[in-house]
Structure 1
């Protein structure tokens, strides 16, 4: 019997059989049943069913928390019972909204980020594997595929098809998370990537929106913050225009007027916000680097991946490039960034050893392979950090410890090269001591991040919490503090 059919069959048996079910529906993660006699369903027994995460009672329903495969389990259950399939429940109707606090607002933001990212993980892994194959088969390793060959171009093309257009994918998933128009969400992402705009990079510094609002010209490929912020803000004008425009005219005027409002907001506010914050944070870190010595390397290594994910690392990169051009080496930014990358490898490794679910372990192993061999850390960061939260703590701990060792031993890199394990070749020109200390710092970062991930855990707990929380409350609540 197929897995989801088995789950449905086991549930049916443990809740008193099909004659005990009067109505069944589902939402994003829960199977929702109306039972004639709830005493026939024993929570602890149902929880032990393989594939069931937990049980909840709300609104007169017996709710079985299953996860993202709940539609398939629901379909199988309906087939077994003869019940008519109902449309999925899109809103959380399980009780009054919680009082909004700073902690709750922060949790809502993280859940929004997580919900938008997690949906993209399968294709993210697939694209990353093509980059991993490119690195393994390319001229830097096995040299089976030469640079510029059709195979090289194809492997790189498949990788870029996702990672370059990440804002468009995020626009879709973020809009879906907020119950907004998914096509308009995609539009928010593609606006940042349209060639007419991208081709202006390096040609002019700003573009005037409507001839009034100046917007900085920059590359937003692979960016995360602009589109997530843009889609959230887009929900307000879209809802307003849907409300005031007659249905007969809504198809034309709702998207048109929403775009009229959002184009300047996206280009003048959402898109450059990462750069603006990056300039502030980057300048502060550089100033700290001038006086902080080895401690500055540790701090940047702890924060690096967070800065990269939000696009706030550009100032530090420019500083590193300048240092490389002037003196041919760097002992600060590039070293810290490399160490932080190894910490990302570490959280994937730690998750692999900690997780019990076979599918989750397989995902974490693929995150490690795509990072260690392919130099692609986004699957680990989005698939573990945003999904479970605690691996981000381990990431910072590992980065800090590895960076601290590198700072104390004055590790220096001489090449701006690979982001996978081959990045350690940048230490070679500094001699045997530099190579040894660079390798120790890198491995220390990875091992400590892995151990911290294993110790902090939270995978099963966070899965249950995520599933139990259901869809997000109205996201506009976040700013009503």
Structure 2
């Protein structure tokens, strides 16, 4: 994949560099904060080769890339000025966001850069647990202690790392932010705990806390720091800002954090963690079922970031039950993806399903499955909910928990206790997801056969075998491909919702577009095979070389003309090329007979595609681009 070209196209269609106030990435998504969320061209972004989809959530405009996101992010930073601070936030230009959206944006933007380090360290902790359990390494050995230092460092010193990343998110000096976090870990400060849990600052009582691995205190402190720094820069002469702004910021924020922000943040984190634990105590089964069954929807919209600080707060107190219940959803998705892999006969879909299964099992990354399978084949979503809920209920009922922050995959199994019950929970979730997919399939009826109410019943005997859609691969990973359909007609473009027939207007027949013809000829929009030509001659079904099933239906209720004024030029089974004449029709006489000539062009198997993108033109000539199918 040419990451440089994709990076430039994304920035261009996001509204340009000047529209970006901040950009970070997580495991699979580019997460933009934009000045104007109306500027991005969603259709063009979604149609780009290498883009899975776009999502607006949590105050962010998210471009879902998949496993190649880091490469695309690096190219954006390299080929634009976004990495130089030139696109730093300008408060006057920022759109006003809802409080909840802002909170999610801050959490995700601050934690995203730390996820790779946290995930790697978490798996290392899981391996160390396995090594000591089987007696391969002694917990007192130098080998263990050195590796344990590597595994624990990012969590123990989390306030420092968050101080840096949160400052970047808030537009403050990241190094001063890091120092604020480090002050909470400095030996002079932590040494105060040896004399009790209280101290004083200028005679004011200070409640002492252990801030290692904490999240909320730093978020609060850096949020206040960002405003203090802006104010100081306004009132201090520019020549003195270099040392005076950091000096006063530290002298103000660190004591306030120790006295107010720190304890307040700890209390918030503990209150949320205690609430989760209370629900677990009331009914672990119910709590596990809710989290395991419904967290999929949070992942779809990128709102799962709001849970991570709660997980980290739980781990600060010893262990966390949420990751164990969450794991059931991941393994349920892996089961569904494996089921699609085993059941599908299409090489392209098998490749996508296979790589998605491995992505979940080996890395714990769910986005390829979510956007590559579940949202394309929505029939599978209930399978994930059911399997995740049952697996989550098992893990919740047996009170399984995580001992470290990890991505839930096969390598992190050692980070969960009791490991036996955890294995049962994830195995059941994956097994149920697999079995439901095998038994009930992943295709809806519209994916299996093309039908039209009361009018179009394709001739199954004459229907050509659908070719397999093609997907290219880079480094073993699927890259989305688009298929462009040209207009079969000359005329005025209309939305399907404007077609005076509910079967078309409400999308029951599939996605597509409509054209009011000005010339009485219909041409092939693709290279492919004629599946069905209606006896009345008013409609034709074509299977493209890449597997799209296209219905061209000339006029509304024109079947009642019983073939009058229509002259088909092809028959079922014919091979056609783009632009070949399909049907001649007498447009003037059809209108005089009282029939509306508006012509829906429908993708009958639209559920197989990630998106069906309509042209933005108001009128088209034959062979103008009309629809883009994103595979």
Question: What TM-score does the superposition give when structure 2 sets the normalisation length?
Answer: 0.45
| Of 173, 187, 197, the match for 2:165 | 173
1:256 aligns with 2:268: no
| 2:129 matched residue in structure 1 | 135
| Of 202, 226, 231, the match for 1:240 | 231
| 1:475 matched residue in structure 2 | none
Gaps of 5+ in 1: 16-22, 32-41, 57-63, 318-336, 369-378, 385-389, 428-434, 465-481
Q: Post-superposition shift, 1:131?
A: 2.0
Measured in 2, the distance between the counterparts of 1:146 and 1:284 equals 37
CA RMSD of the aligned region, Å? 5.4
CA deviation string 1:49-80 (max 9, x = no partner): 32346799xxxxxxx997665564458879xx
* 8 Å Cα contact 2:289-2:389 kept in structure 1: no
Measured in 2, the distance between the counterparts of 1:248 and 1:449 equals 66
* 8 Å Cα contact 2:390-2:429 kept in structure 1: yes
* 8 Å Cα contact 2:329-2:387 kept in structure 1: yes
The DSSP-based 3-state class of the residue aligned with 2:267 is helix
| Of 311, 327, 352, the match for 1:345 | 327
Measured in 2, the distance between the counterparts of 1:173 and 1:417 equals 25
Taking the TM superposition and a 5 Å limit, the aligned residue runs for 1:116-135 are 116-135=110-129
Q: Post-superposition shift, 1:96?
A: 7.2
Measured in 2, the distance between the counterparts of 1:116 and 1:226 equals 14
- Structure holding more strand per residue: 2
Q: Post-superposition shift, 1:365?
A: 4.2
Measured in 1, the distance between the counterparts of 2:288 and 2:126 equals 27
* 8 Å Cα contact 1:226-1:273 kept in structure 2: yes
Q: Post-superposition shift, 1:241?
A: 0.5
| Of 102, 105, 116, the match for 1:108 | 102
Measured in 2, the distance between the counterparts of 1:229 and 1:395 equals 38
Gaps of 5+ in 2: 24-29, 33-40, 56-62, 293-306, 338-351, 371-380, 405-411, 443-479, 481-609, 611-631
Measured in 2, the distance between the counterparts of 1:348 and 1:6 equals 33
Measured in 1, the distance between the counterparts of 2:49 and 2:392 equals 39
* 8 Å Cα contact 1:139-1:145 kept in structure 2: yes
1:162 aligns with 2:154: yes
The DSSP-based 3-state class of the residue aligned with 1:218 is coil
Moved more, 234-243 or 216-225: 216-225
The DSSP-based 3-state class of the residue aligned with 1:207 is strand
| 1:189 matched residue in structure 2 | 181
Q: Post-superposition shift, 1:121?
A: 1.6
Q: Post-superposition shift, 1:231?
A: 0.7
- Structure holding more helix per residue: 1
CA deviation string 1:5-43 (max 9, x = no partner): 45369899x99xxxxxxx987843699xxxxxxxxxx98
Change (3 A) 1:224 1:277: closer
* 8 Å Cα contact 2:320-2:403 kept in structure 1: no
Change (3 A) 1:7 1:178: same
Measured in 1, the distance between the counterparts of 2:309 and 2:10 equals 45
Measured in 1, the distance between the counterparts of 2:333 and 2:31 equals 25
CA deviation string 1:139-175 (max 9, x = no partner): 212x332222222122111112212111111111111
Change (3 A) 1:127 1:450: farther
Measured in 2, the distance between the counterparts of 1:201 and 1:302 equals 39
Measured in 1, the distance between the counterparts of 2:117 and 2:332 equals 23
Taking the TM superposition and a 5 Å limit, the aligned residue runs for 1:380-399 are none
Change (3 A) 1:195 1:10: closer
| Of 394, 405, 408, the match for 1:402 | 394
The DSSP-based 3-state class of the residue aligned with 2:264 is helix
| Of 259, 263, 277, the match for 1:272 | 263
The DSSP-based 3-state class of the residue aligned with 1:193 is coil
| 1:49 matched residue in structure 2 | 48
* 8 Å Cα contact 2:392-2:425 kept in structure 1: no
1:148 aligns with 2:140: yes
Change (3 A) 1:154 1:273: same
Q: Post-superposition shift, 1:198?
A: 2.1
Q: Which has the higher contact order (CA 8 A, sep 6+)?
A: 1
Measured in 2, the distance between the counterparts of 1:65 and 1:93 equals 27
Change (3 A) 1:447 1:405: farther
* 8 Å Cα contact 2:8-2:76 kept in structure 1: no
Measured in 1, the distance between the counterparts of 2:157 and 2:99 equals 29
Measured in 2, the distance between the counterparts of 1:245 and 1:449 equals 64
Question: What TM-score does the superposition give when structure 1 sets the normalisation length?
Answer: 0.57
1:201 aligns with 2:193: yes
CA deviation string 1:421-457 (max 9, x = no partner): 5688769xxxxxxx8xx56974489669989xx99xx
Q: Post-superposition shift, 1:268?
A: 1.9
Measured in 2, the distance between the counterparts of 1:425 and 1:65 equals 33
Q: Post-superposition shift, 1:122?
A: 1.9
Measured in 1, the distance between the counterparts of 2:432 and 2:159 equals 29
Measured in 2, the distance between the counterparts of 1:148 and 1:359 equals 40
The DSSP-based 3-state class of the residue aligned with 2:283 is helix
Change (3 A) 1:50 1:112: same
| 1:468 matched residue in structure 2 | none
Q: Post-superposition shift, 1:311?
A: 2.8
CA deviation string 1:365-407 (max 9, x = no partner): 4554xxxxxxxxxx99xxx9xxxxx9xx99996787236644x
CA deviation string 1:323-381 (max 9, x = no partner): xxxxxxxxxxxxxx67544223334435667896999877654554xxxxxxxxxx99x
Change (3 A) 1:188 1:359: farther
Greater CA radius of gyration, 1 or 2? Answer: 2
